[in-house]
Amino acid sequence: MIKHIVCVFVLLTFVYGISASNLTCYQCIKNNENEECGPEYLLPCPSSSDRCVIHFTKTKNSFVVKRECGLAPCAFDDEMAVRGLGMNCDRSRKEYFCTSCCKENGCNRNSATTIKLHNVLIFFTIAFICILNLFRDFIPPFVQSENMNNYKK
């Protein structure tokens, strides 16, 4: 029974990202969308921040990418708020302001939002091991009655 509780706790910890440390985000301003912030810009966020943010601002004369720590919400039900805060913008326009958010440490390094494959693999590996452990102790009643003598030897 304790194995089951530990498995569930490990899975929940991974899924919800519970950690003892504060969130760290890249905090810098660049003039090129493809230019990444170096490791020296990966800094701890204030305790009031719960996500990393990237702001894209394009005007007639400039293009700026600002990476920083942020606070929820990053999505709104109100369409006017979504447009005004750059949550659903059209990058094909000559001028725009866009905002993108993510919740993992250092996730605002690149402009493109990607699923981190190693996190997915770790999750499914842990889930698979937990499922194997849960069913390893289970012996169906029809097998148990026939083969119980073999297990006692």
Mean pLDDT throughout 56-84? 77
| 77 is a domain residue | yes
Of 87, 105, 96, residue with least CA distance to 43: 105
| 136 is a domain residue | no
User: Does residue 66 have a pLDDT over 80?
Assistant: yes
Q: How does DSSP assign 41-99, residue by residue?
A: GEEEPPTT--EEEEEEEE-SS-EEEEEEEE-S-S--S-HHHHHHTTSS--TTSSSEEEE
CATH at 95: 2.10.60.10
Q: What is the pLDDT of residue 19?
A: 46
Hey, what are 61's tokens? 């004369």
Total structural domains within the chain:
1
Q: What is the pLDDT of residue 94?
A: 86
User: Residue 34: which domain range?
Assistant: 21-122
pLDDT tens per residue across span 82-111: 455 555 677 788 888 888 889 999 999 876
12 or 70: which leads in pLDDT: 70
| 33 is a domain residue | yes
Distance (Å, rounded) from C-alpha 132 to C-alpha 143?
A: 18
| 58 is a domain residue | yes
Average pLDDT, the chain: 73
| 82 is a domain residue | yes
Phi, psi dihedral angles at 11 (to 5 degrees) = -65, -45
Mean pLDDT throughout 11-32? 72
CA angle at 50 for the pair 84 and 106, rounded to the nearest 5° = 95
Judged on CB neighbours under 10 Å (0-12, 13-18, 19+), 137 is exposed
Hey, what are 72's tokens? 């929820």
Which 8-state DSSP code applies to residue 23?
P
Q: What is the pLDDT of residue 18?
A: 47
Hey, what are 99's tokens? 């905002």
Confidence class of residue 13 from pLDDT cuts 50, 70 and 90?
low
pLDDT tens per residue across span 121-149: 666 677 777 676 666 666 666 655 555 55
Confidence class of residue 10 from pLDDT cuts 50, 70 and 90?
low
Model confidence, pTM: 0.55
